[in-house]
Amino acid sequence: MNLDAAPILNNLKDPLLPGTAYWVRASDNTRLRIAIFNQSSTRGTILFFPGRTDYIEKYQHTATDLAQRGYTTIIIDWRGQGLADRMLDNTRIGHVNSFIDYQKDVDVMTEAVNELQLPKPYYLIAHSMGGCIGLRSIYRGLDVKASAFTGPMWGIQIKPYLRLAAWTTGQIMPALGQGHRLPPGKSIEPYVLNARFEDNQLTSDFIMYEMMRKQLQMHPELSLGSPSFQWIGEALWEMLSLSKMPAPSTPSKVFLGTDERIIDPTRIKARMKNWANGTLHIIQKGRHELLMEDNKTRSKILNLITNEFAKAI
């Protein structure tokens, strides 16, 4: 496979672990970006699946923390976000033609893992939309010894009176050739540049919120706004499909914040009731971005994850 050098955009002063980034091509020729941190580790490689609107640089501090625990980390920019190919002429709209397309991204990511001979065994950490993609990947046979999910998108919080509208427009608008459009009231502006820290749904930690803001202010090309009608429709169908499948046998830790306001906690709790090798951890006062909370919370979560990974060898 071709692995062409790609940039990592970081002008922050934090002492973060440097990484090596590459451009890769999915099977449909969509250009994606991957980055590897701490390539010569002793405990294995963690495949990190980020969420919607995310980008590699946002989780460079997580890769640094994981390196201190002895792990290599590989992170991906999914199609339509980060520095990967955007799906629409309006590059600020989150869009995907089909949710299964993300599995093409997973496939080329795992191909790169093999090509680069990253240290075995392999593990998965997946956040938000990455949790939806990651669960599907496990069902498809993703070669990981254990997994961890933070605020996984196995359901989305939608007001009851809007749920039918979301389902309806998510199917009708694409059928009318308008799936690329934004729903009413949605914005192409990034959430962290619009929402005040005091009101934000992502993190209770001011320092981490400012980090996310500064990254997008310095590198607006990483920015992404609200999702299209088609993305919403595809996501709803994918989450429904996954909810009907039995829990996998892969050992897993799942983390849910008590102040979660984006994904649907009831879907997570329902899934974990039947996951024999899975454990649900409730993080008090945690919001959606649990790996963007304060140092103490992040360390607690990563320690629980890596301890689980160590047992799975």
- CA 156 from centroid of its chain's CA atoms: 14
**Both tokens assigned to 284:** 């008090």
Question: Checking phi first, is residue 103 left (phi over 0); if not, alpha (psi -120 to 50) or beta?
Answer: alpha
pLDDT single digits (tens) 272-306: 999 999 999 999 999 999 999 999 999 999 999 99
The C-alpha atoms of residue 57 and residue 36 are separated, in whole angstroms, by 11
- The structural domain count of the chain equals 1
The C-alpha atoms of residue 5 and residue 101 are separated, in whole angstroms, by 24
pLDDT single digits (tens) 181-228: 999 999 999 999 999 999 999 999 999 999 999 999 999 999 999 999
Query: What's the pLDDT at 13?
Result: 63
pLDDT single digits (tens) 56-77: 999 999 999 999 999 999 999 9
DSSP string, 59-109: GHHHHHHHHHTT-EEEEEE-TTSTTSPPSSSSTTSB--S-TTHHHHHHHHH
pLDDT single digits (tens) 21-42: 999 999 999 999 999 999 989 8
User: What is the model's pTM?
Assistant: 0.97
Query: What's the pLDDT at 118?
Result: 98
Please count the other Cβ atoms lying within 10 Å of the Cβ belonging to residue 141: 7
| Domain range for 72 | 4-311
Query: What's the pLDDT at 241?
Result: 98
What CATH number does the domain containing 236 carry?
3.40.50.1820
Query: What's the pLDDT at 15?
Result: 67
Query: What's the pLDDT at 253?
Result: 99
pLDDT at 83 over 70: yes
